Structure 1
Amino acid sequence: MPRGWPVTLVDAPVRLRPLRRADEVAWMRLRAVNAAWLEPWDATAPEAVTGRRPTFGQFVRTLDRQARTGTSLPFAIEVDGELVGQLTVSGITYGSLYSASIGYWVSEHVAGRGVTPTAVALATDHCFGTLGLHRVEVNIRPENGPSLRVVEKLGFRDEGLRERYLHIQGRWCDHRTFALTAEEVRGGLLDRWHAARSRGV
């Protein structure tokens, strides 16, 4: 079993825990209710996908397999026990890089309440502390105001534009890359986020 999985990370009322097959009904309902909110930012395949789509169970099994090989950490985001989104640490790389990327989505009804910054801070601290990574990045569409606000609140460094970086809703889209290294948050990103919230950020 790779270090750091399975794991549950908590900063009440926010909780990150492994996504489970039992989440299917709540997850599917959440995605359906939030379709207009989420679809403009959803990654797509540049080539048409043929054949049957994977079931939710197959989706979770694939994510779990990646987690067990140490390349990804697929978290469900809960608030007060309610499933409200998903956060995935992906592209975990060691060697001379020791880096990973964080992606996330949350239901519109919890947006702006500090849920996503808390989830990202929890995952980042886990990457730096437990996994021993050196760098964490988040890639965001320049038009995605709510996500830009997340990295701004947390103090991620803007590393510039990646042109035509990801395929989103049928076309290659630019993204801005934001990053932190372990040296920049020696006291922990969650603690820094709590301090920022106490100042009204």
Structure 2
Amino acid sequence: MAALAYPVESRHPGWPARLGPLRVPAGVVAVRPVRLRDAGEWSRIRLRDQNHLEQWEPTGVGPWPDRNALWSWPSQWAALRGLARRGQCLPFTITVDGKFAGQITVGNVIRAALRSAWIGYWVSSELVRGGVATAAVALVTDHAFDSAGLHRLEATVRPENNASLKVLTKAGYRQEGLFERYLDVAGAWRDHLCFAVTKEETGDGLVARLLGSGRADLA
């Protein structure tokens, strides 16, 4: 008697993947998996942009120059890749005109009945207000709801972070509430606004909305 065949879900649906490209005012945006050879540009931008990034990111162990030095990337890359292979996150690099421009990650992936995760991102200070983060968020959100099989994504952002608030709003996320003293950022416990979106709310997709609104074009 022949054995019955049942579909088996991949251990890491949705990763690795390449997304885009989309053209925005800053250039052509695409998303790809993080690479070990991203180390040089990752460190250069992170060290240069300390004042731009440190005020919004969770407090880490050790000084910023050490945590973002060239030699610290391999361990971070290996950890992200390990989580991706276990289906617990989707770690991507954002590129603009083919060059490293930042990161975007879908993390803490929970499946079963919840199918939820958070999304976080950062972009080079030279590209802020150029549409890069909004395009990346739209690309990755659509991917998470399609190939990765998720149902809900949420993002938390400090109320003072006007640039990130605009990114999430333009991409199609809605504000759900306030998390008081949610994360240790810049040495203190900071309130964060919670934004979220579910698959049903995206219609034809967040990328389609960007294209329809004229905020991006196909490249």
Q: Give TM-score, length-normalised by structure 1.
A: 0.92
Structure 1 runs of 4+ aligned residues shifted over 4 Å read: none
Match of 2:173 in 1: 156
Match of 1:134 in 2: 151
Q: Deviations over 1:126-154 (max 9, x none)?
A: 11011121111111000001000101112
Q: Deviations over 1:50-70 (max 9, x none)?
A: xx9683111100000000001
* Equivalent pair of 1:11/1:118 in contact (CA under 8 Å): no
The one of 49, 53, 73 equivalent to 1:34 is 49
> In terms of mean alpha carbon deviation, does 75-84 or 36-45 score higher?
36-45
Q: Deviations over 1:1-25 (max 9, x none)?
A: 5221111111231111111111111
Structure 2 CA distance, aligned partners of 1:106 and 1:176? 20
Q: Deviations over 1:95-138 (max 9, x none)?
A: 22111111000011111111101000000001101112111111
* Equivalent pair of 2:183/2:190 in contact (CA under 8 Å): yes
> What SS does the corresponding residue of 1:173 show, helix, strand or coil?
strand
Q: CA deviation at 1:171?
A: 1.3
Q: How many residues align?
A: 196
The one of 83, 97, 110 equivalent to 2:127 is 110
Cα RMSD, aligned residues only: 1.9
> What SS does the corresponding residue of 1:4 show, helix, strand or coil?
coil
Match of 2:32 in 1: 17
Q: CA deviation at 1:198?
A: 5.4
Structure 2 CA distance, aligned partners of 1:198 and 1:167? 34
**Percent sequence identity over aligned pairs:** 44
Q: How does 1:60-139 map to 2 (within 5 A)?
A: 60-139=77-156
Structure 2 CA distance, aligned partners of 1:156 and 1:74? 20
Amino acid at match of 1:96: A
Structure 2 CA distance, aligned partners of 1:88 and 1:154? 16
Amino acid at match of 2:38: D
> What SS does the corresponding residue of 2:37 show, helix, strand or coil?
helix
Question: Unaligned regions of 5+ residues in structure 1, if any?
Answer: none
Question: Unaligned regions of 5+ residues in structure 2, if any?
Answer: 1-10, 23-27
Structure 2 CA distance, aligned partners of 1:76 and 1:155? 21
CA 1:56–1:198 in 2, change beyond 3 Å: closer, same or farther? closer
Amino acid at match of 2:142: D
> What SS does the corresponding residue of 1:113 show, helix, strand or coil?
coil
Structure 2 CA distance, aligned partners of 1:35 and 1:186? 38
Q: Give TM-score, length-normalised by structure 2.
A: 0.84
Structure 2 CA distance, aligned partners of 1:198 and 1:79? 16
Amino acid at match of 1:58: S
